[in-house]
Chain A
Amino acid sequence: MKIVGICACTSGIAHTYISREKLVSAGQKRGHTISIETQGTIGTEFELTPTEIEQADIVILAVDIKVSEDRFKGKKVVKVPTHIAIKAANQLIEKLEGEI
């Protein structure tokens, strides 16, 4: 499965990046291709490419703040707070598998 997503926490300093690490590692562990963009105080990193988004089967947003979802029009989007991604990344990936 191809997964794309965004992580963004309220202060955009630490947990944005922790949740990305957890999601990427959980996704890879279950054999998926996963690309996660971070939107932090220092700006956007690991930016998703239009091709990645185009090819994605599902979009995961682990966000505590509002992020633009314009790029994901027509895609299945699952949204959770960052602490869920940190707490239960594996279960979250399994849930995504069940969504498509």
Chain B
Amino acid sequence: MENKLSKHNIHFIEEHCNSREVFFNLISNFIGDKLNIDPKRVYKGFELREAESCTAIGSGFAIPHAILSEVSESYVFLHIVDKGIDYGAYDDEPVTVAFSLIIAENNYNEKHLRQISSIARSLMNEDTQRTLKTERDVDKLLKLVNEMGDNL
């Protein structure tokens, strides 16, 4: 199904991100490239949401999201960084795994939003957290994330 995460949506980051802004820049470029949209808009969308409250959820995970009018579907990306990012998380834990969400402003696809909320819920599972932090095989990550999205 097209809504599911594909290999192209998994992003390994080797560069050291010494701030959340640097990280947002990198992932905005990655996403802009994949979705053929202006990375600046993606970046701004992330920052807007972050200004409301930090999207880090503790234990080294974050779920940044941007609501954009230029996409007609919603998308999930998985970003894994080698060196943890000082993200401003409440537990001060550097973020190493982020699910970024690009949400279509004008087209709330209910099924897809359910998958996203399911991914968010599954992210609280400690086994899932451990696997996301250690697994580097793209196929296995893909399988895990798609299972997370099916936990409805």
Contacts and interface: CB of A to CB of B under 8 A. Distances in A.
Contact of B90 (A11, A13, A38, A83): A83
Interface residues of B, number: 25
B57 A86 contact: yes
Contacts of B114: 42
B103 interface: yes
Given A18-B57, A83-B54, A83-B90, A11 B117 contact: no
A14 B124 contact: no
Nearest to B110: A42
A38 to B, nearest CB: 8
Contacts of A82: 53
A13 B65 contact: yes
28 contacts: A10-B52, A11-B49, A11-B65, A11-B103, A13-B65, A13-B103, A13-B113, A13-B116, A13-B120, A14-B65, A14-B99, A14-B116, A14-B120, A18-B121, A20-B121, A21-B121, A21-B124, A38-B117, A40-B117, A42-B114, A42-B117, A64-B52, A81-B53, A83-B53, A83-B90, A86-B57, A86-B58, A87-B91
Interface of B: 49, 52-55, 57-58, 63, 65, 67, 90-91, 99, 101, 103, 108, 110, 113-114, 116-117, 120-121, 123-124
